[in-house]
Amino acid sequence: MTDSRLQELRSQVDVINLQILELLNQRATVVSDIGKVQAQLGTSFYDPQREAFMLEQLERNNKGPFSNETIKALFREIFRASMALEETEARAKILVQRKSPDQSTVIILPDSLTKIGGGGFSIIAGSCAVESYDQMDTVAAALSERGIKMMRGMAYKPRTSPYDFQGMGEEGLKIARQVANKYGMFVVSEIMDKSQIEMFSDYVDIFWVGARNMQNSFLLNALGKIRQPVILKNGLAATMEEFLYAAEYIVSSGNPNVILISRGIRTYEKWTRNTLDIGGIAVLKLESHLPLIVDISHSAGRRDIAIPMGRAAKASGADGLMVEVHPNPPVAMSDSKQQLSIPQFNALMDALDM
């Protein structure tokens, strides 16, 4: 008798469970429609006043036996799941978001041979900054011997202190172009402001947005109007979501040729300049179809771990690495602690079988 009563009650619970399941999914569908309307209106998914109102209404109507606290805790969980659903649906719509496992943006440079993304492992290398013709020529000769095609030609340096070397400006771009032409290489160079785009186009093959400008939406939108590839570095304390939304500014303005660079973020750690998030690289590759390069120089801030950093970059699933190389690092005008000498660069390339 008791046994059949138990069976009967359990069947009632099973039926109720299925009703709750049906209702939860009905609710999720309505919430998802709300998300679509909010996206059209440009309003935020999270509305604390609306949440407070719903909880109050539930409290007023709660006849027990669950306490108000229990009901509120359960519904807060439902609200959280709904928000996550709205966010996932909103993200799925953004252009830089991966839509299928095999989707990958491949950047093809004007020689039709040099590529970033799509399976290879690309190297971008060169000094932190252009300092002189001879310095650039020495580095380019060494890089070109290793088959490197993409050379840093950094002429504008957004330094922490205004009293530090700020770069050679247009003169530096001229040197970078001359040297790159001599060795058949491409110039990548950091642009500071949208007013420089026309002038940069005379010298540069790949535009570069540094960490300090990651959220300069005017610059990002303007770079969306050009055709040349744009490298975008993550901000000093940017989340991955913020990083991808910054890339979205460029792509949604019309330029699909964006390359991401992970350069680490600022943490409490002092023994490396920044903290490189290897897990984050894997997540960015899952979330976005854009190519991703690992900056082993600025993330480490030191040259003595270049080989393990390079190996980690290669193993992480990234599409390449960026490394600073200088003919005489101790006297470099910027980032002297992290730039590799030419023999150290060659050792890195050997270690990576490049």
Q: Which residues lie near Mn ion (CB under 5 A)?
A: 128, 335
Q: Least distance (Å) from Mn ion to the CB of residue 157?
A: 8
Q: Judge whether 310 and 352 are in contact, CB under 8 Å.
A: yes
Residues numbered 216-235 forming contacts with ligand PEP, rule: CB under 6 A: 233
Which residue number, 277 or 335, has a Cβ lying nearer to Mn ion?
A: 335
Applying CB under 6 A, does 326 fall inside the site for ligand PEP?
no
What is the C-alpha separation between 340 and 90, in angstroms, rounded? 43
Q: Least distance (Å) from ligand PEP to the CB of residue 154?
A: 5
Which residue number, 212 or 337, has a Cβ lying nearer to ligand PEP?
A: 212
Instruction: Choose the contact partner of 154 out of Mn ion, ligand PEP, none; CB within 5 to 8 A by kind.
Output: ligand PEP
Instruction: Choose the contact partner of 263 out of Mn ion, ligand PEP, none; CB within 5 to 8 A by kind.
Output: ligand PEP
What is the C-alpha separation between 55 and 4, in angstroms, rounded? 38
Residue with tokens 């669950």: 66
The region of 15-23, 164-172, 208-216, 218-226 touching ligand PEP under the rule CB under 6 A is: 208-216
Site mask for ligand PEP (CB under 6 A), range 252-291, x = bound:
-----------x----------------------------
Residue choice 185, 206, 211, 313 for contact with ligand PEP (CB under 6 A): 211
What is the C-alpha separation between 277 and 263, in angstroms, rounded? 9
Contacts within 8 Å (CB) and 24+ apart, 272-279: 272/299, 272/300, 272/301, 272/302, 272/305, 273/298, 273/299, 273/300, 273/301, 273/302, 273/338, 274/236, 274/298, 274/299, 274/300, 274/301, 275/299, 276/300, 276/309, 276/312, 278/312, 278/316
Q: Least distance (Å) from ligand PEP to the CB of residue 153?
A: 11
Q: Least distance (Å) from ligand PEP to the CB of residue 161?
A: 13
Residues numbered 112-131 forming contacts with ligand PEP, rule: CB under 6 A: 128
Q: Least distance (Å) from Mn ion to the CB of residue 332?
A: 9
Which residue number, 82 or 127, has a Cβ lying nearer to Mn ion?
A: 127
Which residue number, 154 or 180, has a Cβ lying nearer to ligand PEP?
A: 154
Which residue number, 233 or 326, has a Cβ lying nearer to ligand PEP?
A: 233
Applying CB under 6 A, does 298 fall inside the site for ligand PEP?
yes
Q: Judge whether 150 and 193 are in contact, CB under 8 Å.
A: no
Instruction: Choose the contact partner of 319 out of Mn ion, ligand PEP, none; CB within 5 to 8 A by kind.
Output: none
Applying CB under 6 A, does 173 fall inside the site for ligand PEP?
no
The region of 19-27, 136-144, 207-215, 223-231 touching ligand PEP under the rule CB under 6 A is: 207-215
Which residue number, 156 or 245, has a Cβ lying nearer to ligand PEP?
A: 156
Which residue number, 255 or 338, has a Cβ lying nearer to Mn ion?
A: 338
What is the C-alpha separation between 327 and 313, in angstroms, rounded? 24
Which residue number, 217 or 272, has a Cβ lying nearer to Mn ion?
A: 272
Applying CB under 6 A, does 292 fall inside the site for ligand PEP?
no
Residue choice 130, 154, 155, 187 for contact with ligand PEP (CB under 6 A): 154
Residue with tokens 């209404």: 57
Interface residues toward ligand PEP, by CB under 6 A = 128, 154, 190, 210-212, 233, 263, 298
